[in-house]
């Protein structure tokens, strides 16, 4: 099955207007639910690779995180952000690439946090991994909404147009 999706907003008249305060809260909860499934994928695979198979900490984390990222992309594309008109129906490959760019810094940060909390803080590897994932989730949600599944609006702050020659004279 192809990860390409049909925009849901056109087929759902009851869809929340993108960007409204209720939409933001609802979408964040959906994002967190998807993240919960990714967390489960990450934690189980990390445990299997690091604890059971004896793979190095960082390698186990990177492979577990990438697998979780692919899981999260598919669910977010279909469910969390499926209601948004995506930049003139950007191909799924572009959305996947953007999601990778967004999450890459989160994965790197989570890996550093994991190593610091585990090696310097003495936390069990699994506990440190969980804390690291939770800490970077806000970053991933914000940029996923703003850029990964952009609705075609500008990513930068809105600025009012400036008159070319100053204020109009009567």
Local confidence band at 161 (pLDDT 50, 70, 90 cut-offs):
very low
Domain boundaries, the chain: 21-148
More confident residue, 65 or 48: 48
**13: three-class secondary structure by DSSP:** coil
CB 114 within 8 A of CB 125: yes
Nearest-angstrom CA–CA distance, 85 and 6: 9
* Tokens of residue 105, six digits: 């810094």
More confident residue, 6 or 101: 101
pLDDT, tens digit (0-9, with 9 covering 90-100), for 80-126? 888 776 654 678 899 999 999 998 888 888 899 999 999 999 999 99
Give the pLDDT confidence score for residue 134 in this predicted structure. Answer: 82
More confident residue, 163 or 96: 96
Give the pLDDT confidence score for residue 20 in this predicted structure. Answer: 64
pLDDT, tens digit (0-9, with 9 covering 90-100), for 10-45? 443 334 455 566 688 888 889 989 999 998 999 999
Q: Is residue 160's pLDDT more than 90?
A: no
Determine what percent of the chain is predicted with pLDDT higher than 70: 72
More confident residue, 6 or 55: 55
**150: three-class secondary structure by DSSP:** coil
For the residues 66-73, what does the mean pLDDT come to?
93
* Tokens of residue 11, six digits: 């087929």
CB 73 within 8 A of CB 99: yes
| Other residues' Cβ atoms within 10 Å of the Cβ of residue 140 | 23
């Amino acid at each position: 099955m192809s990860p390409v999706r049909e925009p849901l907003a056109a087929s759902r008249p009851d869809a929340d207007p993108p960007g409204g305060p209720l939409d933001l809260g609802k979408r964040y909860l959906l994002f967190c639910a998807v993240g919960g499934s990714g967390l489960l994928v990450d934690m189980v695979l990390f445990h299997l690779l690091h604890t059971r198979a004896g793979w190095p900490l960082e390698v186990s984390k990177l492979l577990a995180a990438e697998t979780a990222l692919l899981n999260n992309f598919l669910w977010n594309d279909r469910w969390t952000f499926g209601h948004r008109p995506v930049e003139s129906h950007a191909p799924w490959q572009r959305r996947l690439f953007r999601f990778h760019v967004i999450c890459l810094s989160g994965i790197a940060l989570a890996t550093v946090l994991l190593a610091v909390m585990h090696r310097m803080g003495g936390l069990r590897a699994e506990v440190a991994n969980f804390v690291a994932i939770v800490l970077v989730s806000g970053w991933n949600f914000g940029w996923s909404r703003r850029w990964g599944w952009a609705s075609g609006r500008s990513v930068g702050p809105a600025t009012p147009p400036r008159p070319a020659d100053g204020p109009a004279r009567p």
